[in-house]
Structure 1
Amino acid sequence: MTDDLLSHHDVLLADLDGTLYRGPDPIPVAVEAVCDAAARGVPTVYVTNNASRSPSAVAAHLAELGFPAVVDDVRTSSQAGAAMLAEQLPAGARVLVLGTDALADEVRARGLVPVRTAEGAAAVVQGHSPDTGWRALAEAVVALGAGASWVATNVDLTLPTERGTLPGNGAMVQAVRTASGADPQVAGKPAARLLREAQGGATRPLVVGDRLDTDIEGANALGAPSLMVLTGVSGAADLLAAPPALRPTYLGAGLAALTRHPDELAPGPRAGWRLTAGPDGLRLTGDGVGSAEPALDALRTLCAAAWDHGTGPVVAGDDAAGAALRELGLGG
């Protein structure tokens, strides 16, 4: 019987941008990993903070890339946000929508009335749209000033794209927060609600993501183990500095890590690497001989030390350590 990471779980709760695809292209090995998981009886639920597209559009995009995805496999922060509003408002209440028509459709599906002006709005729901401008933000501030409640689908400050990092919904949320003095309820990651809804009846979920402050923090809020992949937003330096709430259970280069034994992926000391603490910080020496991923094992070693003893400069004590640190983007 296979005893790899996948065999310990009954559902994958996978982030999209930076985890399964980057821009228009799937991340190497991601399609194969998700298809293999499905063949072994472990389904993937696709969980995204991006509220700009409908679940059907997300599923269609994933299917075009080769992922085994249908509409019921997708959970978006727009769905979670609309559900939150429906729990708090009577049917027919007016909700000011800052976001795309896809977000407005989710509000409508919950028996509420989406509007685009502040008059009579009982609540504001804010999700990412590349077309959000000053006038829409101003309407939200007016509504909040009149006593409307406020739900943000997510508060991601940045959004990874094929052109690089761009402003995310959280940047726009911050503008409304600054102008209104209010704070939103948050529907998406890192709040646990979206992931809990995605989990459904599964009892052994694994959260897979590329971002510490959404995917991994959300997994910890849910109380579920997580696999951090180094294919998106967060990198080695972010991991070393991560506070407890943002620390992953497992660390992999990508989704191929699902076929590795869990013990190989957990942060901790690794053969072939040695750490000493000195006045210039953590000094890494060794060569990772025998490791299938020497640089990643160096990072796992560094994470355990940094989390136990605090962060500081990381320096190389020999040429092999220097090469590993440069591969990780940690200097060297």
Structure 2
Amino acid sequence: MSKQTSASASGSGSATTGGSDGAADAGELARAYDVALLDLDGVVYTGARAVPHAVQVLGEARRRGMGIAFVTNNASRPPKAVAEHLVELGVSAEPEDVVTSAQAAARVVAERVPEGASVLVVGGEGLEVALREHGLRPVRSADEEPAAVVQGFAADVGWQALTEASYAVARGVFWVASNADLTIPTERGIAPGNGALVGVVRAATGAEPVVAGKPELPLHRETILRTGARRPLVVGDRLDTDIEGACNGGVDSLLVLTGVTTPQGLLAAGAGQRPTFVAEDLRALLAAPVTARREGDAWVCGDWSARVTEGALAVEGSGARIDGLRAACAAAWASDAPVDTSGVVERLGW
């Protein structure tokens, strides 16, 4: 991915840091990229509810020729269950459209241990199904002499499961975490994620797991293997997983502000966590990007301009707040020194 610092956007909401290698010039994103690799939690749904516009946009994107793959760090459910949930929400999905960190973790383990080996599972059914696909035997006790430990999120993971994992890891057993997300979005708010549970085993053993999920490369590799994508666009709501993972994989990304990331967090994004495009929601897939341009010492997008003066970011203008955010991000990210962004988000109307 190119590391330019221009910003772009679509009419419904996308912004870029450059880096699309001309793909964005081909029209709307749904035609510029062959497959959208969509995160689920905070992008397509939050718990039992679809994110606004997601159902309609994904259907239309498919009609325009864009492939859709659902790529999730959540390892608790197998692809079949995830696809069924999507269908219940009105999103067309088959099990093969879903790629999970459980599948990536299972491949990592299968490349390390003999076929038929026992693997201690801390997590849900998704991990067990993925391991069996590779000819491995899921177990739940360290007394089963497992060749590896695989840990993923499940709402019912408790002390006993974490203890069994700690016993095995302390003996030097190969340890893989499906992901290291510290939090997950729920209908009631932000809750502890698998990374928090991994921290319990880490505290008990002093060991560090191999992480399969975003932002690490195993899940990216698994997704490309399963989809055959040649011009993928990663779509997510988190800088530290979705967007950093896209940067690590060298592909373009779209950040939507329907989940974890806030405008203030986006302004402060480091070089390895800056999305190619920014949008309020998935409607950006159906629109053409508009590039924020540099005019003198300012960055301009729509009716907004942003500049850094004496280390402080300032914005001027009116109109769509997403355009203001794109201009502000371009100005902040173009600076070689730390930028004071206090008051900017409020000035933009977020």
Superposition TM-score, scaled by structure 1 size: 0.90
Alignment identity in percent? 48
* Structure 2 CA distance for aligned equivalents of residues 135 and 311 of structure 1: 46
Given the alignment of the two structures, is residue 298 of structure 1 paired with residue 324 of structure 2, yes or no?
Answer: yes
* Structure 1 residues 286 and 266: CA distance shift in structure 2, 3 A: closer
Displacement after TM superposition at 1:220 (Å): 0.9
2-side partners of 1:100 and 1:163: how far apart?
21
What is the 5 A alignment of 1:221-260?
221-260=248-287
- Pair 1:312 & 2:343 matched: no
Residue 274 of structure 1: aligned partner: 305
Q: Note if contact 2:311-2:339 (Cα within 8 Å) is conserved in structure 1.
A: no
Match of 2:18 in 1: none
Note if contact 1:17-1:232 (Cα within 8 Å) is conserved in structure 2. yes
Residue 280 of structure 1 deviates from its aligned partner by 8.2
**C-alpha distance in structure 2 between counterparts of 1:271 and 1:14, whole Å:** 27
Letter of the 2:207 counterpart: A
> Residues 182 and 264 from structure 1, CA distance in 2 versus in 1: closer, same or farther, beyond 3 angstroms?
same
Moved more, 22-31 or 224-233: 22-31
Q: Does structure 1 retain, via aligned residues, the 8 Å contact 2:306–2:313?
A: yes
Query: Does the residue aligned with 1:263 lie in a helix, a strand or coil?
Result: strand
Counterpart-to-counterpart distance in 2, 1:146 and 1:16: 35
Task: Please give the alpha-carbon distance, in whole angstroms, between the structure 1 residues aligned to 2:228 and 2:292.
Answer: 26
Structure 1 counterpart of 2:118: 94
Tell whether the 8 Å contact from 2:308 to 2:331 is kept in structure 1 after alignment: no
- CA distance change for structure 1 residues 178 and 102 in 2, over 3 Å: closer, same or farther? same
1:63-108, CA deviations, whole angstroms, 9 ceiling, x for partnerless residues? 1111110011010111111111111100121111001133122212
| Match 2:318 to one of 287, 306, 316 | 287
Does residue 80 of structure 2 align to residue 56 of structure 1?
Answer: yes
2:139 to 106, 109, 115: 115
Unaligned runs of 5+ in 2: 1-24
- SS of the equivalent of 2:233 reads strand
Does residue 158 (structure 1) correspond to residue 178 (structure 2)? The answer is no
SS at match of 2:290: helix
* 1:214 lines up with 2:216 in the alignment: no
The answer on whether the counterparts of 1:46 and 1:73 sit within 8 Å (CA) in structure 2 is yes
Match of 1:80 in 2: 104
Runs of 4 or more off by more than 4 Å in structure 1?
264-268
Q: RMSD of the alignment, in Å?
A: 2.1
Q: What's the CA shift string for 1:131-189, capped at 9, x where partnerless? A: 11222112111111212000000000001000110100000001111211111111111
Give the match's secondary structure for 1:182. coil
Aligned partner of 2:321: which letter?
A
- Distance, in Å, in 2 between the alignment partners of 1:136 and 1:180 is 14
1:134 aligns with 159
Task: Report if aligned partners of 1:156, 1:171 keep a CA contact under 8 Å in 2.
Answer: yes
- Aligned to 1:31, the other structure's residue is in SS state helix
Bigger Cα displacement from structure 2, 147-156 vs 200-209: 200-209
Using the TM superposition, give the Cα deviation of residue 284 of structure 1 relative to its aligned residue in structure 2, in angstroms: 1.8
Matches of 1:85 and 1:206, distance apart in 2: 27
CA distance in 2, matches of 1:102, 1:282: 45
Residues 10 and 42 in structure 1, CA contact (< 8 A), matched pair in contact too: yes
Aligned pairs (5 A) from 1:167-182? 167-182=192-207
Aligned-partner Cα distance in 1 for 2:292–2:46? 23
Q: Paired residues, what number?
A: 317
Q: Given that residues 251 and 265 in structure 1 are in contact (C-alpha distance below 8 angstroms), is that contact kept between their aligned partners in structure 2?
A: no
8 Å contact kept, 2:103–2:222? no
In the alignment, the residues of structure 1 paired with residue 64 and residue 346 of structure 2 have an alpha-carbon distance, to the nearest angstrom, of 40
- Cα shift at 1:42: 1.1
CA separation of 1:215/1:158 partners in 2, compared to 1, >3 Å: closer, same or farther? same
Q: Distance in 2 between matches of 1:147 and 1:52?
A: 25
Q: Are 2:175 and 1:143 equivalent residues in the alignment?
A: no
> Contact 2:121/2:140 (CA < 8 Å) preserved in 1?
yes
